[in-house]
Amino acid sequence: MSAPVLQATNLVKYFPTGKSPLLHRPTAEVKAVDGVSFTLERGSTLGIVGESGCGKSTLGRLLGRLIEPSSGTVVLDGHDLTAAGNPELRRLRPQIQYVFQDPYSCLNPRHSIAESIATPMRVQKLYGRAEERQHVRDLMERVGLNPEHINRFPHEFSGGQRQRIGIARALALQPKVIVADEPVSALDVSVQAQILNLLEGLQASLGLSYVFIAHDLGVVRHIADQVAVMYLGRIVEIGSPGAVYGNTSHPYTQALLSAVPVADPRGKGTRQRQVLVGDVPSPINPPSGCRFRTRCPQAQERCALEEPQLADRGGGHPVACHFPLA
């Protein structure tokens, strides 16, 4: 097996918050991502799921150093991104590109889509003008847009088409890894399916690797080869979709799955729904020991004292729980 294309080790991001009136220094820290490690195999998709505030988007941004990690390393295809100086970072970044949630706000409304898609190529000074235009046309075709619309502006496109423009732009530098942060959650379901099919097709033809961040467990099950479930800045369970969805080991994953409404009324009476009580605790002061223990139906004394580490506890895939489900 070849080396993984992306490897994150012990990534941590604390955001300072609160101001002491006298010292002008932050008085607390939001522990957004608190020790996350994973590897992404070449040509595969890692899905990251969790509720709002669990740190999944922050994690995504750390991977391409869009924000600086507090500690930890990201190794992209053998190169340590976190240790890279500016010139090296500029050389490495084309290999990791982003697709964001909102196709309305990530395109400049005053730029034609030719300019939007070409900007990354210009930043990297890759091509001359004529060549660049040809590349833009090729990219548009690749993502299912009509190349004749090259001079149109974002407002002339629908949401799904704009997301295609965003994807074309992410492809412009021929990246190895694409971090897609909620790429379909702003779209209608019928259009979501089109974009998911497009992403899968591109992966097959270009050998791309994806980090796919989403809150929709159904979408992630569909597209991912590995699924990581996050809660309060940590991965609580990671494994193949079959393992995480079918052989669930962490009580949080189970609660999350049982909360998803199922589009099939026939099972209505038979399904066991486990409704979590309360809200996610503050990431400024996460609970001692296991972070999920305050809402966990099977929490015991040990859970408050000792933080469970991510390890295979007999379920066949890593889980961070002292008392994993059988």
Interface residues with other proteins (CB under 8 A) are 51-52, 158, 160-161, 188-194, 196-197, 200, 215, 217-219, 221-223, 241-242, 245-246, 255-266, 268, 273, 275-276, 279
DSSP-derived 3-state class of residue 255:
helix
- Which of 136, 162, 160, 131 has its CA nearest to residue 150? 136
What distance in Å separates the CA atoms of residue 145 and residue 177, rounded to the nearest whole number? 22
Measured CA to CA, the distance from residue 118 to residue 63 in angstroms comes to: 23
- Which of residues 172 and 202 has its CB atom nearest to other proteins in the complex? 202
Of 189 and 326, nearer to other proteins (C-beta) is 189
Q: How far apart are CA 316 and CA 237, in angstroms?
A: 11
Closer to other proteins at the Cβ: 6 or 244?
244
- The least distance separating other proteins from the CB of residue 226, rounded to whole angstroms, comes to 12
* Closest distance to other proteins from the beta carbon of 267 (Å): 9
Nearest to 257 by CA among 245, 268, 271: 245
- The token duo for 290 is 């296991």
21 within 8 A of 57, measured Cβ to Cβ: no
In the complex with other proteins, the residue whose CB is nearer, 172 or 195, is 195
Residue nearer to other proteins on the CB measure, 263 or 326: 263
- Least separation in angstroms between residue 158's CB and other proteins is 5
In the complex, the smallest distance separating the C-beta of residue 151 from other proteins, rounded to whole angstroms, is: 21
Pick between residue 29 and residue 51 the one whose CB is nearest to other proteins: 51
* Maximum C-alpha span of the chain: 68
Could you tell me whether strands 226-231 and 318-319 are parallel, antiparallel, or unpaired per DSSP bridges? unpaired
Min. distance of Cβ 182 from other proteins in angstroms? Answer: 13
Identify the helix (H) or strand (E) that includes residue 136. helix 129-142
Minimum gap (Å) between residue 29 Cβ and other proteins: 21
